Structure 1
Amino acid sequence: MNKKLKTIIMVAVLAIAFYGIYSTGLIDTLKDFDEFQKLIEDAGSLGYVIYILIFIAAAVFSLPASVITISGGIVFGPVLGAILALAGATAGAIAAFLVSRYIARDFIVDKFGKNAIFKKIESGVEKNGKDFLILTRLVPVFPYNIQNYAYGVTNIELATYSIITLITMAPGAFVYAYMAGEIAQNGITTGFFVKLLLAGVVLFGVSQIPKIFAKKKGIDMDPVNNK
């Protein structure tokens, strides 16, 4: 099977899968917090699996993921919801990476290879290796969904990508899911505001460290600067 035919088939498979997701109303459900929460709660013990699968679908097809993270904290509780949100976000990022590398690589390179973000990530990995991945995960100067596909066409190893993605996505996933779960269980209390303040300090600190590191190493993360 020649490369062009393989690309056409793989893109067609993804298009059919997307149509299947769209026809079930999942996209509209993700936009409606109450509907999404009801979907997970009605699934019972299968809710864990469905939650992870929805996260994977959202990453692969670039669907909104914020409501999924928040719903995890509300439906499953602050701690379990945060863990599931991180697991789902990581699984989704890996799935999109694999699609980019092994299924739709040629299509993505042909259509988006000249995109400023794709070019910046490719050159960043070539010059700085895994350091660039760490920085762009901690400081989201590039949209996460685009990152997943862009890194798939670089030479970065899957294991490296997976481990770094898991670690660097943990702060955000835990904060959003945990805070949502706290509100659902205890309401807006003084304790909640204290935790929210601490979470804000943590996220701010996490965002500043890589900026300092990038400046020290001379790593340019400006997506429009391709020197």
Structure 2
Amino acid sequence: QIEKYLAAGFAGIAALGFAGYCISTGQNPSQVFASLSTVDPKQLLEASVIRVEELGTLGYLYFAVVYIVAEMLPTPAVPLTASAGYLFGVTMGTVVVLLSATVAAGGAFVIGRTFLRQWVERFISKSKKFQSIDEAISRKGFQLVLLLRLSPLLPFALSNYLYGMTKVDFWQYLAGTLLGFAPGSLAFVLTGHLGRELSGT
């Protein structure tokens, strides 16, 4: 039941973020979708960074929305992570990145749990080996997620959906993601900040 409420919550956040983007840029939804279909991801990220600087304080929200979308899709978010340090500094850049990544991870998890978990249950019901693995994941969820965030075996976006297909507890998953994602995020944010310092801008 909680997954349904979470799914509705994430959908609401996405809708509000999209509406905020349309209002701030003066575009209607059809124009936004049209631009997304014609602009390649790298150009979109570069344009987003420029737009964030122009928005001032609202740039935090705009950046978070772009980051969440990038992390939920197969789009490399490393340039955005470094951009957070360039735009906001080390402290605020790290905070924005960690919160945005955690929200994206939670949204993808809920999608995986809501729409894919039943299929997985039907599959593992035929194998005691997979049942044992699934149970082990549920018992050691936090430790497992933490370790795999520190030393990822799969792309971030893909792993988020896969975690939702397991029995790992949602809150343990979020905690493991937040803590495990912190060191790498800090490193990339610091790189972006140093880049700005060296450029003198």
Q: Distance in 2 between matches of 1:123 and 1:70?
A: 37
1:24 aligns with 2:35: yes
Give CA deviations for 1:136-180 in whole Å, capped at 9, x if unaligned: 111112221111001101111111111111001000111101121
Q: Tell me the residue number matched to 2:116.
A: 105
* Aligned residue number for residue 223 of structure 1: none
Is residue 130 of structure 1 aligned with residue 134 of structure 2?
no
Q: Distance in 2 between matches of 1:41 and 1:47?
A: 7
Give SS of 1:24's match: helix
Deviation at 1:70, TM superposition (A): 1.2
Structure 1 contact 72–177 (Cα < 8 Å) conserved: yes
- The change in CA–CA distance for 1:58 and 1:109 in structure 2 (over 3 A counts) is farther
- The equivalent residue for 2:90 is 78
Are positions 1:179 and 2:186 aligned together? no
Give the 3-state SS of the residue equivalent to 1:25 in structure 2.
helix
Deviation at 1:108, TM superposition (A): 7.4
Equivalent position of 1:219 in the other structure: none
- TM-score between the two structures when normalised by the length of structure 1: 0.61
> Identity percentage over the alignment?
26
Give the corresponding residue for 2:101: 89
2:35 pairs with 1:44? no
Let me know the Cα RMSD of the aligned residues. 3.3
Q: Which among 77, 80, 102 is matched to residue 68 of structure 1?
A: 80
Question: TM-score when scaled to structure 2?
Answer: 0.68
In 1, are the aligned partners of 2:134 and 2:166 still within 8 Å (CA)? Answer: yes
Q: How many residues align?
A: 164
Corresponding position of 2:8: none
Separation in 2, partners of 1:167, 1:27: 36
Q: Which stretches in structure 1 are left out of the alignment for 5+ residues?
A: 1-12, 114-118, 189-227
Cα drift, residue 127 of structure 1? 7.3
In structure 1, the partner of 2:26 is none
Alpha-carbon distance in 2 for matches of 1:22, 1:49: 19
Query: Contact 1:82 / 1:173 at 8 angstroms: preserved in 2?
Result: yes
Could you tell me whether the CA contact under 8 Å between 1:73 and 1:181 is conserved in 2?
Answer: yes
Letter in structure 2 aligned against 1:36: S
Q: CA deviation digits over 1:90-127, x for unaligned, max 9? A: 1111111112112x3269759xx9xxxxx7x8576157
Q: Is the 8 A contact 2:146 2:180 kept in 1?
A: yes
Structure 2 alignment gaps of length 5 or more = 1-10, 16-28, 125-129
One-letter amino acid matched to 2:92: L
In structure 2, the residue matched to 1:6 is: none
2:172 corresponds in structure 1 to: 160
